[in-house]
Chains A and B, each alone.
Chain A
């Protein structure tokens, strides 16, 4: 399906946007616009109003409302679904920052419900149990923008073809082990670099072959190569537990970070939350990072991804 190409820093084509005020879907520019306002920020998972206020006071640019953080979903098993709307509304009522919420992969009705609730972003998340055996939801028909996860450039561009306005690398949620987040960010970077080279060398054949290899749209790949980055905002996610982790993801070129279990499963959530916000702002300043990392209390215990089988990895979910 056709997707409008976004404006990024004055480059790229102008969005041929439909105007949301006519009752039509919001244009891509408007959907992707909020993500751009969140750049340089930290989005925190919260399970109740109290945690949402702690996150807001710590300087989070948005909160992700859910019933259980990924670490608990992992520990408790069972089927993980969209949260109770009452919980989401409660959280929306107590903070002035944007509120995001998760829907299962392919569960377009959960998405419609979240849109009806008025959440600012919908995360079609691999942390919940996928609801469709082979497809994601068609996101372009929604006014509410979506954020989706990816492990590589092909996955990212497939999601963008479906209408996603923001990407996060998946990492391995609920583990507190940053290695998978690093793996996925590196993968995307390498593939973007390859696309860039192909575009610079005007190698159209090569680009088409690469698009076939990545299983993605060749024009989106071309745009990515031209920009030297994804055409939408890209945050890191999955296993970020410390200020150092967050700063490292920023150093690797991410536009911001999601921190899930990492904050409220730690010994001192309010302080850790503030420390991570400071770390993302001062990610190049090791002195500040040393200061904010000191005396933080216990980080979340976590699971070593090296000990996990592929089957246990949530990042495998999705298409």
Chain B
């Protein structure tokens, strides 16, 4: 882990992922990677859940989180597999048109938490929190929303305008931590992968430029 410049936490079953990470002794190293070393990390779906500082609707005895994004997520927000769906998203950080995305038993970012307070006051019984580390000055940026349409269209009674909603938050970024609720690997559109890798190159170059003695000095260009 220490040799990695960046990390992706892919989709899967977040309950299992955190249990197994704990048993392998990986949770603390991961927390250090994300919240102390602050190297670039990208979490999708289960990965987003693990990177959140707080999660709702975890299993009854709680769930270990890594943290890194000052947000609270709600797991299985849209429901079970039958409520899983595909949707076209407008992602402002990508060029050339909407991104066709797949949501599988997806979470959403329920709330952006204020960065300095990592312990929300009135948390529900089923809200779990990640252990805090050093606070970051970076703000949480909302990078993508799912218009309220998808959640309600099954009822065919209301649409997003009626609800006056901007839509559910499905993509966020805070400094070097990037989290999304959907699965870009399932549709063959590599734009998010490309974008993130370019961000990783930028972030890694920054880190090495400051460290002139490093044997790992990144060579750019060519």
Q: How far is the CA of A20 from the CA of B87 in the complex (A)?
A: 9
A59-B15, A59-B20 in contact; A33/B82 too (CB < 8 A)? Answer: no
Proximity bits, B76-89, A CB within 8 Å = 1, else 0: 10011110111100
Interface residue SS majority, chain B: loop
Interface range for A: 35 or more
Which A residues are CB-close (under 8 A) to B190?
Answer: 10
Chain B residues with CB under 8 A of A10: 185, 188, 190
Interface residues on chain B, size class: 35 or more
Q: How long is the Cα–Cα vector from A38 to B45 in the complex, in angstroms?
A: 13
> Is B105 engaged at the interface, CB distance under 8 Å to the other chain?
yes
- Which residue of B24, B84, B156 has the most chain A CB atoms within 10 A of its CB atom? B84
Are B59 and A19 in touch, CB under 8 angstroms? no
Asked if B94 is at the interface of the complex by the 8 Å CB criterion, the answer is no
Contact of B12 (CB < 8 Å), options: A17, A21, A61, A120? A61
Chain B CB within 8 A of A175 CB: no
| B153 at interface, CB cutoff 8 A | yes
Asked whether, in the complex, the Cβ of A281 is within 8 Å of the Cβ of B87, the reply is no
Specify which of B82, B85, B150, B187 lies most central, judged by the most chain A CB atoms within 10 Å of its CB: B82
Of A22-30, A66-74, A199-207, A296-304, the one with at least 4 CB within 8 A of chain B: A22-30
- Closest beta carbon of chain B to A146's beta carbon, Å: 11
Residue ID in chain B nearest A115 by CB atoms: B82
For B149, list chain A residues within 8 Å (CB): 21
Contact partner, A19, options B75, B81, B87, Cβ 8 Å: B87
- Of B15, B19, B104, B149, the most chain A CB neighbours within 10 A belong to B104
Q: Could you tell me which B residues sit within 8 Å of A by CB distance?
A: 11-13, 15-16, 19-20, 23-24, 45-46, 57-61, 75-76, 79-82, 84-87, 102, 104-105, 149-150, 153-154, 156, 183, 185-188, 190
Q: What are 22 sample pairs from A and B whose C-beta atoms fall under 8 A apart?
A: A7-B186, A10-B188, A15-B187, A19-B87, A21-B154, A22-B153, A29-B86, A30-B84, A30-B104, A33-B102, A34-B104, A37-B12, A37-B45, A37-B46, A53-B59, A53-B60, A57-B61, A59-B16, A97-B16, A98-B81, A98-B105, A119-B80
7 A-B pairs closest in CB distance: A120-B81, A61-B13, A59-B19, A20-B85, A33-B104, A21-B85, A59-B16
Interface set of A (CB-CB < 8 Å, partner B): 7, 9-10, 14-15, 17, 19-23, 26-27, 29-31, 33-34, 36-41, 53, 56-62, 92, 94-99, 115, 118-121, 143-145, 274, 277-278, 281
